[in-house]
Amino acid sequence: MIFPRRTEGVTYICRGPGALLSLPCGGYREDAIHKRMFRERIRNNVNSWFSWSRNVDLPVDRMEDLILVTGCTLVTSYAAAVLDDHIADAKISLVSRPLNNGGSSFIWSNIRGTVEYNDSQVDPVCLSWLRY
């Protein structure tokens, strides 16, 4: 038996750079077990990674902007937003609605400022994890 889940909503206001991540159905998280193994790899490769990111015009200004991902989270639905507005308050509202397949649909609104957002969109034929 499937129990209906409630509709959830949130409004996020940020006075500087910030981010919002919504996982309405939870997820499974797994991290690398031996993170110390990455220290040597980072030390030996950070200069080339930084040079490469600059050569392909990624928005990386300092080596500290590079992030090594050592884990993952598996989810059925997600919504993410990045707010990068230094002049005025950035604002975004998000409502998630449950779907019969166990995922969620999302409604974005009330967007003000420099906001980039994305969410999972479930295709009836196959899962399309990125909308764009």
Written as tens digits, the pLDDT of the chain (132 aa) is 333 445 567 888 887 778 888 888 888 888 877 778 888 888 899 999 999 999 999 888 998 888 888 888 888 888 888 887 665 678 888 888 888 877 788 888 888 888 888 888 754 433 443 333
Domain count, the chain: 2
Strand ranges (DSSP E) for 40-131? 71-74, 79-83, 90-98, 104-112, 115-119, 121-122, 127-128
Relative to beta strand 104-112, strand 18-22 is unpaired
Last residue of a domain, one of 49, 70, 91: 70
| Together in a domain, 40 and 83 | no
- Which structural domain range is residue 16 located in? 1-27+75-132
- With a threshold of 0.95, does the pTM exceed it? no
| Together in a domain, 41 and 82 | no
| Together in a domain, 90 and 47 | no
| Together in a domain, 21 and 79 | yes
| Together in a domain, 65 and 79 | no
| Together in a domain, 89 and 132 | yes
